[in-house]
Amino acid sequence: MTEIVDARGLSCPQPVLMLINALKKTDEGEIEVLVDTEASKENVSRAAEGKGWKVKNIQQDNLEYRIFLVKN
């Protein structure tokens, strides 16, 4: 099951903190992170890659981003 982290409307460093908390519970699989600023998108992607996760895809939907992260 894909875990969803909803960090919309939250400013630094909350999105990355939420991602890291989610990563503590999940060693591998898929995580989906929702953010609504470009800066949060970059920060989340950078932090995920730093933890060995891959950014599989980023969907932009209106003013929101869905970041799909995977680790196998």
50 binding other proteins? (CB under 8 A): yes
Q: Six-digit token pair at 33?
A: 């992170």
How many angstroms separate the Cα of 35 from the Cα of each of 38, 55, 71, 72?
A: 8, 14, 20, 23
Please report how close the Cβ of residue 24 comes to other proteins at its closest, in angstroms: 13
Return the residue of 4, 13, 28, 29 that touches other proteins, per CB under 8 A: 13
Helical segments of 1-72, H only? 14-25, 38-50
4 binding other proteins? (CB under 8 A): no
Binding site for other proteins (CB under 8 A): 8-14, 16-17, 20, 36-39, 42-43, 46-47, 50, 58, 63
